[in-house]
Structure 1
Amino acid sequence: MNGMSMTTPLGSSSDVLFLMLGAVMVFAMHAGFAFLEVGTVRKKNQVNAFVKILTDWSVSTVVYFLVGFPIAYGISFLKPVKQILGDNQGYDITHYFFLLCFAACIPAIISGGIAERAKFWPQVTAGAIFAGLSYPLFESLIWGKNMSLLQDLFKSLGGAEFHDYAGSVVVHSIGGWLALPAVLILGPRMGRYVRGKSHPLPISNIPFLALGSWILAVGWFGFNVMSAGHLEKISGIVAVNSLMAMVGGVLAALIASKNDPGFVHNGALAGLIAVCAGSDIMHPLAAFVTGAIASIIFVYGFHIEQEKLKIDDVLGVWPLHGIIGSWGGIAAGLFGGEALGGLGGVSFVSQLLGTLAAIVFALVNGFLVYGVLSKTVGIRLDPEAEFNGADLSIHSIGAYPEDSIR
C-alpha cells in the first residue's frame, strides 16, 4: 500500500467510487439507446444506429471535457494531474465522467428521432454543439455555477427553486425538444406519408428493442440514485420511486396499448423519465401514478404525433423525452408537496416556469443549429442513399454481411 492510499480520507475515496459506479451504469445506458434504435429502424439502417451513437458518445466526451463541464461548473482540467487529483482523489474529474453521461444523452435522444434519413457528419456536428455548448449552458443555470441567475427568479416568483433531482427536464425534456426541430426540418422518411395518408414503416427487431429498454431501465438506477453525488447523501426512496414509476409505466402501457410490445417496453422508459425530477421527494405511490400517467401520455401522444400531426419521429423521442420530461418537471411540483405525502420544499409555479424555460431554450437552440446546418451543408441523405439505407450509403456494409453476399 503506498503512502497516498494510507493518508487519503476514506470519505473522498468512497465518493469517487460511488460516482464512478454511477457513471459506469449510466454509460451502459448508451448501449440501451443503441439497441432501442436498432430494433426500431429497418435492417438497412441498423449499422448506422450503432456507429452514430458510439461516435456521438466519443465526440461528447471530448467537447464536454474541454468546453462543456467548464461552462457548467467553472472547473477546467487543463492543468497538471497533481492539481486535478487535489486533496479529494480527483472527485471533480470523476464528477465530470458522471455528468458527461448525462450530456451525451442529448445526441443519443435526438438520434432516435432523425433515424434512417439524416446525414452522418452534420448530425455529429450538431451533437457536439449540444453536448459542448447548449446543454452545459442550461445545466449551469439549474445545477451549476450560474444557478443564481435563474433559480433566484424562480424562487421569487414561485417561492422555491426549480427542483430537478436527476434530469427529467434538464436532460430528457431538453433532448426531446431539441429533437423536434431536427425532425421537422428533415421531413418524413420516403414512403411514410403518401398523398396525405399514413403508411407506417415496419420495425426490424422486437427482441433488440426489448433489450434496449432493459439495459436503459437497469442503468437508470445509476442515473437517479447516484445523482446524490456523495455516498452520505444516498437515498433509498430514490431507488424505490424509480422502480415504482417504471412498473407504473409498464402496466399503464400494457392496458392503454392493448398489449403492444413496443409501447410496453417504452412505457417503462416513460415512467423512468417522468420520475427523475421528483424521485427524491415523492411518495412511492405518487411515483407509480407519475409513471402511469407518463406512459399514457406516450401511447396516445405517439399516435397523435404520427397520425394526426404527421411528424415522422421514428422512436417518438419528442413525446417520450420532450413531453414526458416536461410532465416529470411538473409532476414534481404536484406530488412532491407535503399535501400528497411528499417531502415538500417544491413549488408548482416554479416547476412550471422551469419546465417552460427548458422548452423555449431547446426549441430556439434546435431550430438555430439545424436551420443553419440545413441551409449550409444539408442534413438529409439524398433519395438514392436513403432508399439504399444508411448502412450501405454511409458505412459501406450492412448489418448482415453474409446475407448481402448471398
Structure 2
Amino acid sequence: MDYFAPLLAQDAAAIDLSAELTQNLLTTNNVWMMLSTALVFIMHLGFAGVEAGFGQAKNTVNILFKNTITPIIGILSYAVVGFYLMYPGFDLPGWFGFDAAGWSLFWFAPETADITAGYADAGYTYWTDFLFQAMFAATAATIVSGAIAERVKLGAYLVFTLFYVGLIYPLIGSWKWGGGALDEMGFYDFAGSTLVHSVGGWGALAGVILVGPRIGKYVNGKTVEKPGSSVPLAVIGVFMLWLGWFGFNGGSVLSADPGLVSFVLVTTCLAACAGGLGGFLAAYFAFKRLDLGMVLNGILAGLVSITAGADVINPGPAVLVGFIGGILVVISAVLLDRAKLDDVVGAVSVHLTCGVWGTLAVGIFSTNPDHSFFTQLIGVAICGITAFAAAFIIFFVLKSTMGIRVSEEHERNGLDSHEHGIRGYTIVYDE
C-alpha cells in the first residue's frame, strides 16, 4: 500500500492543480467579459453625444433625457422578460420559447445561479452573461431614438422601447443566439450586425415613416439642412462608440481567448478606419465638400458592417467590408432624403443599411466554408420582416391612441422648454 502512496499523492496534486488552473481561467475570462460589458455600457454615452451633437440646440435636453432613460428601461425590461425569452434553451430549434425556470431562478433563487467553471465552458458566470446581453438589448433601443429625434412624444417613445426591447429584440435574437431555427439553418451573426443593429434600424425606419419629417425639412422638393448643436460633441460621441465597440465585438468572443480576441479587435478597428475613408470619399464625390458628418457616420458604418463577421473575415477583406459600408452609408442617406424620410442622425443608414451589408458579407468573405450567402440572405429577410412589421404595428397603435408626434408649436419652439423646463445650453451672467 505504501508503494502506491506517492502515486496517489501525485494524482491528487495534479487534480488540485487542474482545478486551480480552471478557476484561474474562469476568473480571467470573466474579468474580460465584465470589462467588455463596461465598454458596451459606455456606448450609451457615445450615442447620447452623437444624437445631441447632430440635433438642434433647442432639443438637447430632450435628446439627452431619452438617451438616459433608454438604458434604464432596456436593462430592466430585459431583466423582467427579455433574458429568458432570448435564451429559452430550445429542446428543438424553433421560433418561440420562454425559460420560466430561468426567470424563477433570477428573481427567487439567485443563490442557485451557476458561477462556477461549469457554466459557459468557464467563459463567464451566469450574472456576467445576463449583464453583457442586457447591454446589447439596450443598445438596440438607442438606435431608434436618434432617427426620430426632435419631434416624437417622449411618452410614446418610452412605451415603444418597453415593448420593442422587452419582447421583439429578444425574440428575434433567440432564433440565432438562443439556439433557435436560424441557428439550425446555419445563419451566422457573430456580434449582431443583424440581431442588434439592423433590428434597431428596422425599428428606426418604421418610426421615421410613421412620425414623419421635421417641420421645414423638405421644402419645394429640396432638403433643408438643420445644423446640429455641437460638432465637437458629435465627434466625441463617435470616438466613444468606437472605443465601446472593442467590448461589443471583443466581448462577443465570450472568453478572453488571446488569439481570437486580438484578431477580432484588429478586424473591427480596420473596418472602422476603412469605413471612415469610404464615407469621406463618397461624400466628397456626392457633395463636393469635406463632410465631417459623413466621415463620422462612415466610421460607424464600418463598425456595424464588420460586426457580423469580425471573427471569420480576415483583415484584408475586413478593410473592404468597412470601406463599402462607408460608401453605402452616404448613398443610403441621400436616398432617404430623396424619399423624404427624415433621419436626424443617419441611424437607418448606419445600422440598417450597413447591418444588412455586413451580414451578407459573411456569406462572401467568411473563412468558414459552411457560411452561405443564400442562408445569410434568408436570415436577414426573416429578421427584417419580423422587426419592421413589429415596430410598425407598435408605432401605429401608439399613433392611433396616445399619438406619437408633439404639437407644431412645441416642435418649432423646441422640446426642451416645453417638456423639461430647461435648455441644454444656458449661459448665466452675474448682474
**TM-score under structure 1 length normalisation:** 0.91
1:329 equivalenced with 2:359 (yes/no): yes
CA distance, structure 1, for counterparts of residue 368 and residue 430 of structure 2: 61
Q: 1:212 aligns with which of 228, 231, 237?
A: 237
Contact 1:165 1:227 in 2 (8 A): yes
Structure-2 residue corresponding to 1:158: none
Structure-1 residue corresponding to 2:181: 149
Q: 1:49 aligns with which of 63, 74, 80?
A: 63
Structure-1 residue corresponding to 2:406: 381
Q: Counterparts of 1:164-179 in structure 2 under 5 Å? A: 164-179=189-204
The superposition leaves residues 129-165 of structure 1 with CA deviations (integer Å, 9 ceiling, x where unpaired) of 1111000001111101xx242333x3xxxxxx11100
CA displacement at 1:252 relative to structure 2:
1.4
Say which SS state the counterpart of residue 107 (structure 2) adopts.
Answer: coil
Q: 2:394 aligns with which of 369, 372, 383?
A: 369
Larger Rg: 2
Contact 1:64 1:100 in 2 (8 A): yes
1:250 equivalenced with 2:276 (yes/no): yes
CA displacement at 1:179 relative to structure 2:
0.8
CA distance, structure 2, for counterparts of residue 8 and residue 332 of structure 1: 33
Kindly tell me: are residues 311 and 21 of structure 1, through their superposed partners in 2, closer, same or farther at Cα, counting changes over 3 Å?
same
CA distance, structure 2, for counterparts of residue 216 and residue 48 of structure 1: 21
Contact 2:203 2:387 in 1 (8 A): yes
1:294 equivalenced with 2:332 (yes/no): no
CA displacement at 1:176 relative to structure 2:
0.4
Q: 1:266 aligns with which of 273, 286, 297?
A: 297
Q: Is there any run of 5+ residues in structure 2 with no aligned partner, and where? A: 1-19, 89-101, 285-289
Q: 2:347 aligns with which of 311, 317, 329?
A: 317
Residue 78 of structure 1 aligns with an amino acid whose one-letter code is W
Structure-1 residue corresponding to 2:54: 40
Structure-2 residue corresponding to 1:64: 78
Structure-2 residue corresponding to 1:95: 129
Say which SS state the counterpart of residue 313 (structure 1) adopts.
Answer: coil
Structure-2 residue corresponding to 1:123: 157
Contact 2:176 2:182 in 1 (8 A): yes
CA displacement at 1:369 relative to structure 2:
0.5
Kindly tell me: are residues 43 and 148 of structure 1, through their superposed partners in 2, closer, same or farther at Cα, counting changes over 3 Å?
closer
Residue 394 of structure 2 aligns with an amino acid whose one-letter code is V
Say which SS state the counterpart of residue 345 (structure 2) adopts.
Answer: coil
Contact 2:177 2:183 in 1 (8 A): no
Kindly tell me: are residues 320 and 7 of structure 1, through their superposed partners in 2, closer, same or farther at Cα, counting changes over 3 Å?
closer
Residue 333 of structure 1 aligns with an amino acid whose one-letter code is G
1:137 equivalenced with 2:171 (yes/no): yes
CA distance, structure 2, for counterparts of residue 194 and residue 266 of structure 1: 25
Structure-1 residue corresponding to 2:28: 14
The superposition leaves residues 54-82 of structure 1 with CA deviations (integer Å, 9 ceiling, x where unpaired) of 10100111110110001111332112332
Q: 2:313 aligns with which of 275, 282, 285?
A: 282
Query: How large is the RMSD of aligned CA atoms in angstroms?
Result: 2.0
CA distance, structure 1, for counterparts of residue 429 and residue 242 of structure 2: 34
CA distance, structure 1, for counterparts of residue 313 and residue 150 of structure 2: 39
Kindly tell me: are residues 84 and 404 of structure 1, through their superposed partners in 2, closer, same or farther at Cα, counting changes over 3 Å?
farther
1:348 equivalenced with 2:380 (yes/no): no
Residue 283 of structure 2 aligns with an amino acid whose one-letter code is S
Structure-1 residue corresponding to 2:94: none
Residue 79 of structure 1 aligns with an amino acid whose one-letter code is F
Residue 168 of structure 2 aligns with an amino acid whose one-letter code is S
Say which SS state the counterpart of residue 242 (structure 2) adopts.
Answer: helix
1:82 equivalenced with 2:82 (yes/no): no
CA distance, structure 1, for counterparts of residue 183 and residue 252 of structure 2: 19
Kindly tell me: are residues 402 and 22 of structure 1, through their superposed partners in 2, closer, same or farther at Cα, counting changes over 3 Å?
same
Contact 1:15 1:91 in 2 (8 A): no
Say which SS state the counterpart of residue 353 (structure 1) adopts.
Answer: helix
Q: 2:256 aligns with which of 222, 231, 240?
A: 231
CA displacement at 1:239 relative to structure 2:
0.9
Say which SS state the counterpart of residue 9 (structure 1) adopts.
Answer: helix
Contact 1:398 1:404 in 2 (8 A): no
Kindly tell me: are residues 224 and 405 of structure 1, through their superposed partners in 2, closer, same or farther at Cα, counting changes over 3 Å?
farther
Q: Percent of aligned pairs with the same residue?
A: 35
The superposition leaves residues 231-279 of structure 1 with CA deviations (integer Å, 9 ceiling, x where unpaired) of 2474322111101101111111121212210011111100000000011
CA displacement at 1:312 relative to structure 2:
0.7
The superposition leaves residues 288-310 of structure 1 with CA deviations (integer Å, 9 ceiling, x where unpaired) of 0000001100112101111x111
**TM-score under structure 2 length normalisation:** 0.86
Contact 1:301 1:319 in 2 (8 A): yes
Kindly tell me: are residues 207 and 360 of structure 1, through their superposed partners in 2, closer, same or farther at Cα, counting changes over 3 Å?
same
Residue 213 of structure 1 aligns with an amino acid whose one-letter code is V
Structure-2 residue corresponding to 1:113: 147
Say which SS state the counterpart of residue 142 (structure 1) adopts.
Answer: coil
- Farther-moved stretch of structure 1 (348-357 vs 394-403): 394-403
Kindly tell me: are residues 384 and 355 of structure 1, through their superposed partners in 2, closer, same or farther at Cα, counting changes over 3 Å?
same
Say which SS state the counterpart of residue 427 (structure 2) adopts.
Answer: helix
Structure-2 residue corresponding to 1:157: none
1:304 equivalenced with 2:304 (yes/no): no
The superposition leaves residues 161-195 of structure 1 with CA deviations (integer Å, 9 ceiling, x where unpaired) of 11100100100011001111111111111111224
Structure-2 residue corresponding to 1:3: none
CA displacement at 1:318 relative to structure 2:
1.2
